Amino acid sequence: MSNKRTYAVFGLSSYGWAVAKELVRSGAEVLAVDSDEELINIAIKEIPYCKCADVTEMEVIKQLGIENIDVVIIAMANNLEASVMATMLCKEVGVKTVIAKCSDEMHRKILKKVGADRVVFPEKESGVRLAKNILSAGFVDIMELSEDVSVLEMDVKPEWEGKTLKELNLRKKYELNVVAIRKKQDIYISIDPEESLDATMKLIVIANAETLKKLK
């Protein structure tokens, strides 16, 4: 298996389908799973690894090798019982990151209670945006300005520590525009380009998709 993170998407409704397609389009290794054989037959045309299976069964989870998957996206909000059970089973076999789609606030609370690392409301976050977000490891998506440009919060990379923004010249090197710096709970928009960066800081930047690929 490659060093790249691997993904599984459970449920190929419009939301899950959008997540899976965007992940594949970005070159990620994706396993798509749904209990509806008709949906699987459609999906296989664009997603190389598809399985028709019931992910509420532990034996199925083991047969699919889900314990080897880095991130599982559970897009079955229309079936509360199935989404809760799939979340529990994924965490039980050791999946590090489980992202689950919910239908309402109560559903969100239940999913968090049984171990979901992140819960998303589909009306607030599109499937395509979620895929872009989880592909950009180390970044927190604050606002999407367009299809390719976002405002993000990111860590100070180890090789940047002790250096100033002036020295790093991130705009020229990466086309990365630093618009603010977060220090604990405070955000400073008046940036001193001569101030040395350290690991406790967060950079709030405007970046495009190509920039994120370079920085990953």
What distance in Å separates the CA atoms of residue 187 and residue 182, rounded to the nearest whole number? 4
Alpha carbon 76 to chain centroid, angstroms: 17
How far apart, in whole angstroms, are the C-alpha atoms of residue 85 and residue 71? 16
Please count the other Cβ atoms lying within 10 Å of the Cβ belonging to residue 49. Answer: 16
Q: What is the pLDDT of residue 3?
A: 41
Q: How far is CA 2 from CA 5, 21, 31, 104, in A?
A: 8, 20, 14, 37
Task: Write down the pLDDT at residue 147.
Answer: 59
Q: Residue 208 has what pLDDT? A: 78
Instruction: List alpha helices for 64-164, DSSP H.
Output: 80-92, 105-113, 127-135
> Where in the chain is CATH 3.30.70.1450?
139-215
Place of tokens 């495009």: 208
- Output the pLDDT for position 163: 94
Mean pLDDT by 10 residues, the chain (216 residues): 76 90 88 95 93 95 96 90 94 94 88 90 63 58 58 85 93 85 82 92 82 69
Q: 6-135 architecture in CATH?
A: 3-Layer(aba) Sandwich (3.40)
The CATH number assigned to the domain with range 139-215 reads 3.30.70.1450
pLDDT at 132: 64
